[in-house]
Amino acid sequence: MIEREREVFSQLQSSAIVAVLIINDARDAVPLARALLAGGVNAMELTLRTPVALDALRAIRAEMPDMLAGIGTILFARQIKEVVAAGAQFGVAPGTSPRVMQAAAEAGLPFAPGICTPSDIERALEFDRRFLKFFPAEPSGGLKYLESIAAPYQHLDVKYIPLGGVSEANCHAWLSSRHVGGIGGSWLAPQNLIASQDWSAVQHLAARAIAIRDGVRSSTLLS
């Protein structure tokens, strides 16, 4: 389990950009994944906010092997078995439910619980979670707040993936932080573009996000 988790979260950090998606029609799943991948985004989180999320995941896992696909909005322990059976490569939650974290550990599912306070971080660390979702990122105080609460745990090599208010406008700042292992956002595939099946627009947004990521990495290497 530990080796698999390291591999998955290493891939997420390498990708750095995770598309967070709400899909209402499972038939949109593969074209959407294909558009994101064409733009360079090879990691996605399908949220359990619609009844077709698991069907969408199955389709993507079957037809898009180059896409790292996980499930988000996991709220109950019973959902862990369902997402594992559907082929989820990782799981994400908005909070730090001990029951959900324990179920993920028992199922061998690489899992990122959601944190917002130092107490949340410590609860996650009790389950040896080192890759954490920071949510809601911007409403909670943004990057300045994250850097403040992350400082006491920096020596433990904890990484955070902010979601909530992260956008093209501020993703450069987030990606520049040493605490951030990647960013997640729904701006890469907003509902209106999915509804209109404007896959070229999705590809364009993905490519712009990747260009920002690569720019951050280039400036880091030069500094």
- Whole-number pLDDT of residue 1: 55
Identify whether 168 is a catalytic site residue. Answer: no
> What is the pTM (predicted TM-score) of this model?
0.96
Q: Which fold has domain 2-222?
A: TIM Barrel (3.20.20)
Selection from 63, 13, 56 nearest residue 37 by Cα: 63
- Whole-number pLDDT of residue 38: 98
- Whole-number pLDDT of residue 220: 80
Question: Along the chain (223 residues), what's the average pLDDT of each consecutive run of 10 residues?
Answer: 87 98 98 98 98 98 98 98 98 98 97 98 97 98 98 97 97 97 96 98 98 94 70
- Whole-number pLDDT of residue 223: 61
Q: Where are the domains positioned within the chain?
A: 2-222
Contact 187, 205 (CB under 8 A): yes
- Whole-number pLDDT of residue 37: 98
Identify whether 133 is a catalytic site residue. Answer: yes
Q: Which is catalytic among the residues 63, 82, 133, 168?
A: 133
Q: Which is catalytic among the residues 5, 7, 45, 144?
A: 45
**Lookup: tokens for 21:** 């998606």
Output the DSSP codes for 20-32. EE--S-GGGHHHH
Contact 47, 213 (CB under 8 A): no
Q: How far is CA 37 from CA 16, 202, 204, in A?
A: 14, 10, 11
